[in-house]
Amino acid sequence: MQKQAIDLLIHGASELATPLGTGPRAGSAMDEIHVLEKGAVALDQGRILACGLESELRELYAPTECLDAEGGTLLPGFVDAHTHPVFAGTREGEFEQRLAGARYAEIAAAGGGILSTVKGVRNASREELLALLLDRLDRFLMLGTTTVEAKSGYGLTTADEIKSLEVLRDAAASHPIDIVPTFLGAHAIPPEHAGEKERYVQIVLQEMLPLVAEAKLAEYCDVFAEAHTFDLEDTRRISRRAQELGLGVRLHVDQLTPLGGAQLAAELGAVSADHLEWVDGQGMEAMAEAGVAPVLCPLVPLFLRESKEAPGRALIDAGLAPALSTDFNPGSCYMQSLPEVASWGALRYGFKAAEGLTAITLNAAASLGRGARLGTIEVGKQGDICVTDLPSHRHLAYELGRSPVRAVVKGGRVVFRRTDRVQ
Ligand code: NIG
Ligand code: FE
């Protein structure tokens, strides 16, 4: 029998570990993953053609290229469902202020925080922002992340928000990572509208949102719903307008104070409710009923030195399908590694190995409306695979502080191979 020519065979793995399916895996199903010892994968034309033992696949297929996993574990490419990667300038000074006891909200109220990054973005040219973003996308990819949700939100004028979203669009056109763009004009009240929040809300509603929707620059709209930024009524109005214009809604809720944001996310039919440090039982119930995806950021309270953490375990026990994300941004989490997030999801929430893996792959992909295409290693899905050096998926959360990524396959193509070796 003539063997079928294919683009790529990934072989030599100790195991292949993946959740299965196209929808989010909720509650106890998060812990059920498929583990194939010595699993290999055949890829062609960007997609996964077959999974099985190497010997079986070699009988059927003649690969043009082979990638040796050298005894590591194959995992689905990681999906980061919450990031803020379009920024210029860093905020290590605020990090140190917090080490000395300052709180995030105090720093923000004194004109630091988000607003200091807004200055950086307004002063940066498109080319500068794009170069910074491309470097960050490289780092995501080298850490095994093959898809990122990415928010604007450090421009806060119509022109600077559009600039940020266009930079995301241009980066997506030239970088292998898949980018899911989110408009976050309602991230903070900009300094020129200090004390006149309603004027800024009107700009978001009447100017920014229609332009963003018309130019199809974002799939989602997000609002930072907090006591010191946008209250629940502002968040409701902005989200409804976004929905009328065809955008989905993801929300920053119940992060620093208990505002009932999870209930609002449920009322609005938001796709995701993110952070959730202060969510209560009623909020969880409302989210479960409405099918809102919790997107948790376990590093953020640690980075901010806030003691309140999201009830990760309770969310799973309530039958929800949490995703874990980095929240990568210069203020509240300057960190891009989803393996690290899986470790902290384990240590802080008690997520088991399989739950953590599901949370950074399929559940994250499903929360971005991409569960049918991404998030698992299954026949027909896009060929996004993270080749690690881990002996099993159980090492993903267990090993901290280093990247386990040996190679990354994106859309069926090898886009990264680790070459560093001690000389
Ligand atoms: O998700 N909460 C709002 N936004 C970010 C922080 C952004 C910043 O501090 O620059 C967050 O934590
Ligand atoms: Fe965030």
User: Do residues 351 and 312 touch, judged by C-beta distance below 8 A?
Assistant: yes
Mean pLDDT of the chain: 97
- Which phi and psi angles does 156 have, rounded to 5°? 60, 15
β-bridge pairing 15-18 and 73-76 = parallel
- Mean pLDDT across 388-400: 98
The pLDDT assigned to 228 comes to: 85
Question: What is the DSSP track for 371-401?
Answer: TTTSSS--TTSB--EEEE--SSTTHHHHS-S
- pLDDT higher than 90, residue 373: yes
Verdict on whether the full-model pTM lies above 0.85? yes
Residue nearest to atom 5 of ligand 1 (CA): 332
Which residues neighbour 308 within 8 Å (Cβ) at sequence distance 6 or greater?
Answer: 277, 278, 301
Q: In the chain, what percentage of residues exceed pLDDT 90?
A: 98
How many residues make up the chain in this entry? 423
- Mean pLDDT across 208-228: 97
Which of ligand 1's atoms lies nearest the C-alpha of 327? Answer: 1
The pLDDT assigned to 299 comes to: 98
Question: pLDDT (tens digit, 9 = 90+) per residue, 109-140?
Answer: 998 999 999 999 999 999 999 999 999 999 99
The pLDDT assigned to 423 comes to: 81
Using a 6 Å cutoff on CB, does residue 332 contact ligand 1? yes
Closest Cα to residue 98, out of 310, 373, 333, 318? 333
Burial class (CB in 10 A: 0-12, 13-18, 19+), 60: middle
Which of ligand 1's atoms lies nearest the C-alpha of 331? Answer: 9
Which CA distances in Å does 400 have to 311, 340, 349? 22, 6, 16
The pLDDT assigned to 277 comes to: 98
Q: Cβ atoms within 10 A of the Cβ of 402, count?
A: 10
- Mean pLDDT across 367-376: 98
Question: pLDDT (tens digit, 9 = 90+) per residue, 181-201?
Answer: 999 999 999 999 999 999 999
Which residues neighbour 377 within 8 Å (Cβ) at sequence distance 6 or greater?
Answer: 16, 18, 41, 48, 51, 74, 75, 76, 385
Using a 6 Å cutoff on CB, does residue 255 contact ligand 1? yes
Letter for the amino acid at 240?
R
Using a 6 Å cutoff on CB, does residue 117 contact ligand 1? yes
The pLDDT assigned to 203 comes to: 98
Q: Which two tokens stand for residue 15?
A: 């195991």
- pLDDT higher than 80, residue 420: no
Residue nearest to atom 11 of ligand 1 (CA): 332
Residue nearest to atom 6 of ligand 1 (CA): 332
The pLDDT assigned to 74 comes to: 98
Among all ligands shown, which has an atom nearest to the Cα of 256?
Answer: 1
- pLDDT higher than 80, residue 309: yes
Tell me the angle at which helices 261-268 and 281-290 cross, rounded to the nearest 10 degrees. 20
Question: pLDDT (tens digit, 9 = 90+) per residue, 3-26?
Answer: 999 999 999 999 999 999 999 999
Sheet holding 4-11, edge to edge: 47-53, 39-44, 4-11, 61-68
The pLDDT assigned to 415 comes to: 98
The pLDDT assigned to 227 comes to: 85
Q: Which two tokens stand for residue 111?
A: 């004109």
- Mean pLDDT across 330-350: 98
The pLDDT assigned to 346 comes to: 98
- Mean pLDDT across 398-409: 97
- Which phi and psi angles does 179 have, rounded to 5°? -115, 130
- Mean pLDDT across 342-351: 98
- Residue in 328, 332, 334, 341 to alter for ligand 1 test, most ligand atoms within 8 A of Cβ: 332
CA 114 to chain centre: 19
Q: Say how far apart CA 321 and CA 311 lie, in whole Å.
A: 13
Q: Which helix (H) or strand (E) holds 314?
A: helix 312-317
Q: Is the dihedral of CA 73, 12, 15, 359 positive or negative?
A: positive
- Mean pLDDT across 75-97: 98
Closest Cα to residue 18, out of 365, 377, 351, 364? 377
Domains and their CATH numbers in the chain: 4-76+376-417 (2.30.40.10), 78-336 (3.20.20.140)
Question: pLDDT (tens digit, 9 = 90+) per residue, 72-83?
Answer: 999 999 999 999
Residue nearest to atom 3 of ligand 1 (CA): 224
Residue nearest to atom 12 of ligand 1 (CA): 332
